[in-house]
Amino acid sequence: MSRRVVVTGMAGLSPIGCDWKQSRDALQHGRSGIQRIAAWDEIDSLRTRLAGPVAGFTAPSHYPRKSVRAMGRVSLLATRATELALEDAGLLGDPVLHSGRCGISYGSSSGSPPAMGVYTRQIYGGRTTRGIGANDYLQLMSHTCAANLAQFFGVRGRIIPTCSACTSGSQGIGYGAEAIRFGLQDVMLAGGAEELDALDAAVFDVLYAASTRNDEPDQTPRPFDVDRDGLVVGEGAGCLVLEELEHAKRRGATIYAEVLGFGTNCDGLHLTRPDPGGMEQVMRLGLAAAGIDAEAVDYVNAHGTATDAGDIAESQATLAVYGDRTPVSTLKGHLGHTLGACGALEAWLALEMLREGWVAPSLHLERVDPRCAPLDYVRAEPRELACETIASNNFAFGGVNTSLVFRRFRS
């Protein structure tokens, strides 16, 4: 059995906005959500001071304490994005959520870092369990987002926690689509989230992969640019409500797009060094699953981390698959690298642009690094583009790769 999978609801919270209107304005006017984080000045030897927070986010007042006490910020962001996506789909409070035919495929690169800090401080620093609360583990566990979403919305179908660093969100969407395509579920809440913490910045800082333009937060990161100096971490959450086509039609749902294909693989070569061969293969897997040729894709939403090796490898792989005539851009110049959320946030924003017939440029891309492949990079200004089919690619530590292919809905 192979069933068609469509997107009937979508929402996100990111450094450039908590709805599409705010996000569109930032994307069209070249505004990023990157800030200097003054509190990180206290961390000895940390070189970067840059990040993309979701400004002003707090848990909504209507969330019951009983429902959120096991949630760190990462789960709260995930819950709010999912709530907004369910509202958009017209499924918030619908009995299908509790029917066993609705599931969750959602991830993050880790649980909530402050909760991890409680354990490490007490166990390794204080050699005691005093001060560790009953909910600390529930906030730090790797499947905290998926589990808390299930509890909050009363979802009783299958739970697929994705915890694959920067492909957590895109694998969430892909695995969710597969669960519907093969008849295992009718609806899936799919996506990813990440909570901003100095721990995330330190991961890349010690690898010399983080931007240190600390006095120029409005000039970094610079994906594919010759003057890029590394990535900038960010936070956020994105959710797509995926639905089996006939199920969506029966209830008269608005259909935004179809999930045409999904590919995922692993380089199997190196934990941190990207491999253009694995990237190329996953793009071809996504196209094969979609049943289309590369020429049918009108736009590629690139991962584009602004790291030296990553941008070069990705551009080479993209050229090998899509050639030099398919428009390509990345959203990380605006968002920063939102890690476990990026695959979901970037898919959401790309689908919104697909609906409106334009694509955002790669912010700060002024001079393409000559070591990067000669692609049709969208830069400087948004480009009007009547897209029918788009691809969204993401890559993660561990050599994990994903490619999602979406198409404007055809009845």
Residues with a catalytic annotation lie at 166, 303, 337
Cα distance between residue 396 and residue 329, in whole Å: 18
Kindly calculate the radius of gyration of the chain based on its CA atoms and give it in whole angstroms: 20
In the three-class reduction of DSSP (H, G, I as helix; E, B as strand; rest coil), residue 246 is classed as helix
Contact in structure between 249 and 329 (CB atoms under 8 Å): no
DSSP 120: I
Whether the CB-CB separation of 154 and 104 falls below 8 Å is answered with: no
Grouping H, G, I as helix, E, B as strand and the rest as coil, residue 239 is: strand
According to DSSP, residue 122 is labeled: I
Which tokens go with 130?
Answer: 């005093």
* DSSP codes joined into one string, 5-42: EEEEEEEEEBTTBSSHHHHHHHHHHT----EE-GGGGG
> At residue 243, what are phi and psi to the nearest 5 degrees?
-145, 145
Cα distance between residue 300 and residue 108, in whole Å: 23
Secondary structure element (H or E) that encloses residue 287, with its range: helix 276-290
In this structure, are residues 333 and 223 in contact, taking their beta carbons and an 8 Å threshold? yes
Measured CA angle at 155 (ends 345, 69), to 5 deg? 75
Per-residue exposure over 273-294, b if at least 16 CB sit within 10 Å of its own CB, e if not:
ebbbebbbbbbbbbbebbebeb
